[in-house]
Structure 1
């Protein structure tokens, strides 16, 4: 579930998870169920008897543990990891009701354990996987995630947490002023996402790609902050927010089986663009060009080709932009990952020439 173009090709092996496969019966059945159910879906068939057997056994073992709330096993790593596995399976299988039930159960367990930071024990990916499921559910329903509603930090994540960037570029002061004028919190998220883009672009050129943990931390931070923001009274700020969310989602939730997330985000993206277009609010032409290009790249197979075409033409003329090289330079000033978007970006831009 990590884009090979951006991340190190490292085996996602966590000793704690592998150990559970060999020692925890509930987790073994949950893993077997996930694999069997995914295979059934790919083969376009109903869940097999073997699939159902693994699910029922995983649920039976879980129920046995949860029926003893005072027991340490009720909120242990193995129990939480088993529910995480079932939640991820429900997400891929598009069983939204089951996914929501698992997420609510996980929330209770996480609170009993003392919060997400307490889960970074022997299995470092537990918290990341819980957050991925939480974001997946929120994005699909165009709602707010469960976690970080009241205690989220709006400060820049990469520079603020001491991460060392692979890239150092001069600040684009003109662009920074444009985005700061929309909202300081939005600006801070943009600085992190821009830093991420610069890191990945340089990494693709030099072979210094991102470790899975760094990829998770940055995109979770970006996605949570964007999901918790909303600008009902500023269509320009909202269009830029949802544009960045669509951009981040296309990277973080790029697995084909999670396509429903991108469809939902793109629907919200279209609504935000309509509201901006029909309002008296104005987005700087450079930012408007970026937003509309991201829209074209994101939905090129789903929306009418001429949707927002007149608007796009007006923005191009006002900058002005004539050739793809000029368009690409603008995109890279804002947010762009060459290896992921150059080909489709050029194709979409050329259609408008």
Structure 2
């Protein structure tokens, strides 16, 4: 590293006139015979040693004790010099050669402003680049695109938000698209999402489209409009067209048409179409995914990527609920036996089952298949409430087994609503409850867009005959879960039913009642309270 600027301190003639106080001796630094180099760092600042010496020289005599006889002090006239304003074009190079004698004379006789100009300091504050600017993505990104990618980075843990408009400011869109990720942990060696952003142009564009679409929804929420992802902005439509064009190129290539990134892109498009209420687009993407999974040898062909499997199962659940069809992606054999009883003995789950609640007497009267599915989802809710305070998470393999076991059992079951209205309403209510964990986060106010599912749940709830406090709690739970994810929340029949079952009870008491059924605090507390207060006040959501 070049030597810092050397300065020889030569006292001027005015210093000789001072007899008191005694001046401090200054060590004379050797002067190079030819040149002295002033080194600067990449930010344009000089070497720390040089800056320290320059500063000490400038401050000489400033902090000494004042002499009593100020009349004897001689003022040294200094020529007025205009200090030029520094411009970006005037920024010096990182290393500049200055003759040693000139440097010495300049520092001895120039003003403080002159010394500051010679100190090679760049004007203004140098902005530190963000971490994402250090990565080379699959294609160059502008500032707005990098901002969207930043919004999609997965957090380790995020607390719940009471205001949906805070979603993009506090947490990430990725948490909105994958609401269960607070519940299962990542395997750092197998997480490939960010690597794909650096390697696959199509996947990168699909992520930009997804986040841009949810940004449009956030802007809609802030403008007090209620609904799904409708009316995409011109920016989002452009990203969608780019994604479709790149996806078609991948599908036409036999080497890339069924690779993991291609499957993930189609799944992303399907989930956005579902959230936007685009039934035709959702159906087209599901058909494509079904064929891709078949060509991969079934869902087991993706065992190396559990997160992608979970993503596909979410699409399968959403399509089954929207269309009323049976599962089309998952075709493995299912066991109707309770899952948690087996998992507690084979996987060492961090969970202690609580004492049975009062509704257990009603649950025991149901079909054993529905009863086991209900108990498993109830146990999962209890376990989630016990894990979240300590920021603990499940292994993704275990989480996938739990969700798939419950989800597909419920989808394969069906009860005639005219004969067994309570059982069928419980089945649909459990699917609604699971969708708040697995499909759409209630924080954004997204609803299931299936009119068939809406009418089915409404009809079943209306047919439930309340013949005891346990059934009353179950019906109240169905009404609130439906308000969160299915119903608009301001329907006359819904408001009247909630008020009839809750009476004069405050939310704290109603919350205790629905928690006896099942409730995940971090997910359902805020939207559940909002739905209850909306019904009490009779106002529009």
Give TM-score, length-normalised by structure 2.
0.53
The answer to whether residue 497 in structure 2 is matched with residue 308 in structure 1 is yes
Pick aligned residue for 1:293 from 449, 461, 477: 477
Q: Which residue matches 1:246?
A: 432
In 2: Cα distance, 1:168 partner to 1:102 partner: 41
Give the C-alpha shift of residue 225 in structure 1: 2.0
User: For residue 61 of structure 1, what is the aligned residue in structure 2?
Assistant: 249
Label 1:13 to 1:88 Cα distance change in 2 as closer, same or farther (>3 A): farther
Partner of 1:128: 310
Give secondary structure in 2 for the equivalent of 1:230: coil
Equivalent position to 1:185, from 362, 369, 378: 369
1:269 to 457, 475, 485: 457
State how far apart, in whole Å, the 1-side matches of 2:324 and 2:188 are: 30
Q: How does 1:216-255 map to 2 (within 5 A)?
A: 216-232=400-416, 233-255=419-441
Q: Structure 1: which 5+ runs fail to align?
A: none
The answer to which of 124-133 and 4-13 deviates more is: 4-13
Cα deviation per residue 1:249-292 (whole Å; 9 max; x = unaligned)? Answer: 23333333742358865543221112334xxxx77640342222
- Tell me the CA shift for residue 150 of structure 1: 7.1
User: CA 1:110–1:47 in 2, change beyond 3 Å: closer, same or farther?
Assistant: same
For residues 175-202 of structure 1, what are the alpha-carbon distances to aligned partners after superposition, in whole Å with 9 as ceiling and x for unaligned? Answer: 4453232111111111211111211222
> Structure 1 pair 101/77, CA: closer, same or farther in 2 (3 Å)?
same
Residues 295 and 25 (structure 1), Cα distance of their counterparts in 2 relative to 1, 3 Å cut? same
Cα distance 1:27–1:191, how it changes in 2: closer, same or farther (>3 A)?
same
Q: Distance in 1 between matches of 2:194 and 2:397?
A: 18
Greater displacement, 261-270 / 94-103:
261-270
Q: CA deviation at 1:309?
A: 5.3
Measure, in 1, the Cα distance between the counterparts of 2:329 and 2:500.
Answer: 37
8 Å CA contact 2:206–2:268 kept in 1: the answer is: yes
CA contact (8 A) 2:483 2:531 kept: no
- d(CA) in 2 for partners of 1:342, 1:257: 14
Measured in 1, the distance between the counterparts of 2:512 and 2:212 equals 46
Is residue 199 of structure 2 the alignment partner of residue 23 of structure 1? yes
Report 1:1-353 matches (<5 A).
1=175, 2-3=178-179, 7=183, 14-39=190-215, 44-48=231-235, 50-65=238-253, 68=254, 72-121=255-304, 123-148=305-330, 151-161=333-343, 162-169=346-353, 172=356, 175-210=359-394, 214-232=398-416, 233-255=419-441, 256=444, 258-261=446-449, 265-277=453-465, 285-296=469-480, 298-299=482-483, 301-304=489-492, 306-308=495-497, 312=501, 328-342=511-525, 344=528, 348=532, 351=536
Structure with the bigger RCO (C-alpha within 8 Å, sep 6+) is: 1
1:20 and 1:207 map into 2 onto residues whose CA distance is: 27
- SS of residue paired to 1:158: helix
- Note closer, same or farther for the CA distance 1:262–1:337 as it changes in structure 2 (3 Å cut): farther
Task: State the alpha-carbon separation in 2 of the partners of residues 347 and 17 from structure 1.
Answer: 35
Q: Helix, strand or coil for the counterpart of 1:111?
A: helix
Query: Is the contact made by 1:38 and 1:93 (CA closer than 8 Å) also made in structure 2?
Result: no
RMSD, matched Cα: 3.9
Report the Cα offset of residue 7 of structure 1: 3.2
Q: Which runs of 5+ in 2 are unaligned?
A: 1-174, 220-230
CA distance in 2, matches of 1:244, 1:131: 16
Query: Taking structure 1 as reference, are residues 80 and 117 closer, same or farther at Cα in structure 2, changes over 3 Å only?
Result: same
TM-score (ref. length: structure 1): 0.76
